[in-house]
Chains A and B, each alone.
Chain A
Amino acid sequence: MIEQLLAPSVFAAAMRLATPYLFASLGEMFGQRSGVLNLGVDGTMLMGAFFGFYTVMITESLLLGVLAALITGLIMGLVTAFISVTLKAEQGISGIGIYLFGLGMSELLYQRLIGTPKSVSGFSNIYIPGLSDIEFLGIGEIFFRHNLLVYVAFALVPVSAFILNRTPFGLMIRAAGQNPQAADAMGVNVTRVRYITVMIGGMMAGLAGASLSIALLKVFQQNLTSGLGFIAVALVYFGRWRPLGILIGAMLFSVVQAIQLQISAIGIDIPSEFAVMLPYVITIIALVFASKRMEKPTALTKPFERGES
């Protein structure tokens, strides 16, 4: 039975399940590193999932679908940034507003424009020549037989780390989240930096939604994400605001999820809610035991005011 649970197919599924987490969490990480907490990720994901799906349904173009999801996310990000950066609203609460908006709006649009459950053909798997045939430990099956978005999501991990740690913009992001007054005094436009990171986060959340609706599940229904965006936010904390940490967290959770799916597939009866709960439980435990001197952006959730110190 253990063999069945740890089969290569299970890990391959975990890779696919990790994709939306990666997109959403990496995007959220940029916002948080610059000092903005966006709890509305799930709402943005739902909107991205809907528009991505709807566009593919109508145009049958995956490229346009992805673009639609990105633009949707960008607009949601812009709204979020306006509320938390310009209007300086309480971030914990306004994020929930964004979530509820996305939840309701995507459902309404679904009812009006689609109505009954439909599916699209969506992204198909790309077998990487040569590598996908590796039999050893099931490497070929686990890593190299996925759809395009899976590869993109994993590639974004080192790319994000590079942006954050090796570029002038990454430096501005880190400074804006740690000591915005200092960043401002050094000529950094803190407001602009925060707008950009929140908009990047929005785009990536939109893409995360689309990765569900046009790649992983290939359907849209109401509340398609079922709270996945909140897990993505928790993953940012779990991953200590670092791309590598987020990757580890995302993999951990998706492996647990994939095993849980396999358990029910082979007919062992464990409530599926258990797997949904688990990531939160693990995150809480991880947060409790984490060292207190960490790289948490100290200005997280704090609006910026020039001249105050």
Chain B
Amino acid sequence: MSATLPTGHRRIDQLEMRGIVKRFPGVLAVDHVDFDVCSGEIHALLGENGAGKSTLMKMLYGLYQQDEGVVRLNNAEVRIRSPHDAIQNGVGMIHQHFMLVPSLTVAENIALGMKSSRGWRLDLDLVSKRIRELSERYNLKVEPDIPTWQLAVGEQQRVEILRALYRGAALLILDEPTAVLTPQEVDDLFVILKKMTADGHALIFISHKLHEVLAISQRVTVLRDGRRVDTIPTEGATRLKLAEMMVGRPVVLEYERPEVTVYSDRLQVRNVSALNDRGEVGLRELSLSVAGGEIVGVAGVSGNGQHEMAQVIAGLRPLTGGKIEINGQDVTGRSPSVVRKMGVAYIPEERMIDGVVKDFTVAENLVLHDHGRKPFVSQRIFMNFKAIRDACQEAIRAYEIKTPGPDVPIKNLSGGNIQKLVLARELARQPQLLIAAQPTRGVDIGATEYIHRQLLKERARGTAILLISEDLDEIRALSDRIVVMYEGQIMGIVPGKDVNIRQLGAMMAGTPLDKVAEMS
């Protein structure tokens, strides 16, 4: 009998996966992988997109069944056939895509699937009470009675963690928990995770951000193409070393930004206002311009109007005031297809929703916009499937997209590979203006490097690029000018060279540039 956790549940002293194999049609996703994690430890799992991290973890959580291999829990073999089994064994998981029922309240989401202490009647009041206790202990602020669709991403994640703790998770798998968080929220999360390990929980942490892995974990396991490369102690590891283990070759983490010819303004946004999805004012009298051969980075905590701005420019959201010009032509209120014809390409933030059609194949998604153009049609009306397949093979090769082939449904690809496909499609248009929203979110180092290089290449070609990102490192590495947004307004525009991080931070928190300048 092993010890108990402060939550009153049984502790997992050690969990071990041995020789795990998982095959999907055409893919060996996980290839004889050994992995283990101990109580009180954070074990990080690293690997490029499609390396098999999520698949390995989904097997541990009972969402997939391994084809070979065993799982041992405190030295006893266990068979985890469903999430129900996993929960029974004290395994919890925070998924890459959150798993909450939007119309249910926090307490209902947590009570879901659990026995009620009142038998056939719900005991939500008791659940709420216990939620409050737990949230105090782990400093996870949540309100039990609000429906989860009203929560911001960071809050939703807290609910998920709380739910796992509530259900007695002694081992918690976190699949890219930081991908959607702001730097401040990441710090808060790390405090919580440290508290959990101090209490004896075992944690598995997946992230593409190496500095996070270095900051929080004790051991790191690197996967590549479904195989385990190595498991090493975090102490003594460096970003460069980890990156090389992942990619299998030396990587560059900093880029040169050569001087390029800057053309006249391609995009002019003048005093634009628009509503957000909730019907509130999302953009207030926003003005901005981007010239050809220039990358303008838009920094800001997510939800401050960046998404609305991108959509307004792409013609996907009506504006309530102001004017948008592309190449000097007024496109205010024109349809997305007109805007695209003007040479605008858009890499949307929600790639699974706005970027691809999930049930279409890789090839179909690649020609989503251009299926009506040469060479994809012959005799004007027939699709030329050979040309489409060829173009797709070419994109797969050039962008190193990991897929069994052009004809598999895109939803079977890993997140980063889907992103590469969207990029391939948008850049193939040779755009005049490229709007890139979070282009490397959830994308591995190798691919991030690749995407960054492509953006710089586009810049050198004379494309105007609007880069929206929450990743300040990315903004700083690429932008010629940096715009900071807060509550639908621009706090200031600064040159990208030698920016002052504290200045950026202050603007992101809502202080206009002139005030920031006064302060320092």
Q: Interface residues, chain A, CB within 8 Å of chain B?
A: 166-172, 174-175, 178-179, 181-189, 295, 298, 306-309
Contacts and interface: CB of A to CB of B under 8 A. Distances in A.
Given A183-B112, A186-B113, A189-B84, A174 B104 contact: yes
A178 B120 contact: no
Contacts of B97: 309
Nearest to B96: A309
20 contacts: A168-B111, A169-B120, A171-B104, A172-B112, A172-B113, A174-B103, A175-B104, A182-B100, A182-B109, A183-B101, A183-B113, A185-B83, A185-B93, A185-B99, A186-B163, A187-B83, A187-B88, A187-B114, A189-B82, A309-B95
A187 B109 CA distance: 12
Interface in B428-466: none
Contacts of B111: 168, 171
Contacts of A172: 112-113
B249 interface: no
Nearest to A180: B101
A307 B83 CA distance: 10
Classify the secondary structure of B's interface with A.
loop
B64 interface: yes
B30 to A, nearest CB: 14
Interface residues of B, number: 31
Interface in B74-124: 82-84, 87-88, 93, 95, 97, 99-104, 108-109, 111-116, 120-122
Contacts of A189: 82, 84
B247 interface: no
A175 B411 contact: no
B420 interface: no
Interface string B59-72: 00101100000000
A184 B121 contact: no
A179 B83 contact: no
B122 to A, nearest CB: 5
B99 A182 contact: yes
B104 A178 contact: yes
A186 B168 CA distance: 12
A178 to B, nearest CB: 5
B317 interface: no
A295 B111 CA distance: 20
B121 A166 contact: yes
Given A167-B122, A186-B163, A187-B83, 9 more contacts: A168-B116, A171-B108, A172-B112, A178-B102, A187-B88, A298-B102, A307-B63, A309-B97, A309-B99
A308 B58 CA distance: 11
B101 A306 contact: no
Contact of B84 (A178, A187, A298, A307): A187
The 3 lowest CB-CB distance pairs between A and B, nearest first, are A187-B84, A182-B99, A186-B113
Given A172-B113, A183-B113, A178 B103 contact: yes
Contact of B113 (A170, A187, A309): A187
B87 A174 contact: no
B173 to A, nearest CB: 11
A182 B114 CA distance: 13
Contacts of B64: 307
A233 B411 CA distance: 33
Contact of A179 (B93, B101, B108, B120): B101
A56 B365 CA distance: 61
A188 B93 CA distance: 15
B93 A168 contact: no
B274 to A, nearest CB: 19
